[in-house]
Amino acid sequence: MTATAADDRAAIRELIDSYALALDAGEVEECARLFAADGEFLVYGKTFAGHDGIAGMFRAAARGLHLTGVSRIAVDGERATARSQVLFVRAGDLQ
């Protein structure tokens, strides 16, 4: 792996961390802007596309705590994909 590819993977890992922190803080628009304008978010077999689709899904979702785990990140030139483990604890379950 080249230094650039390693740097890209580290930057993507930081994006995943930023996603969890922004979403847990209720910063839906900030979280949606972490995705590319043509980005897609696949969860529970459903795909949400673009900033509006992704932000809408976040607004409708239950609030809680997102704990990120292992990520598989593939960098291919100017494009990348990531698949991550996330443990979600619903806000009502935190009490």
Per residue in 14-73, pLDDT (tens digit) is 999 999 999 999 999 999 999 999 999 988 899 999 999 999 999 999 899 999 999 999
- Residue 36 backbone zone (phi > 0: left; psi -120 to 50: alpha; other: beta): beta
- Enter the DSSP assignment of 58: H
**Minimal CA–CA distance to 36: which of 85, 94, 78?**
78
Torsions phi, psi for 62 (to 5 deg): -65, 150
Whole-prediction pTM value? 0.80
Q: What pLDDT, on the 0 to 100 scale, is given for residue 5?
A: 86
Q: How many residues in total does the chain contain?
A: 95
Give the HSE-up count for residue 62: Cα atoms under 13 Å, Cβ half-sphere: 10
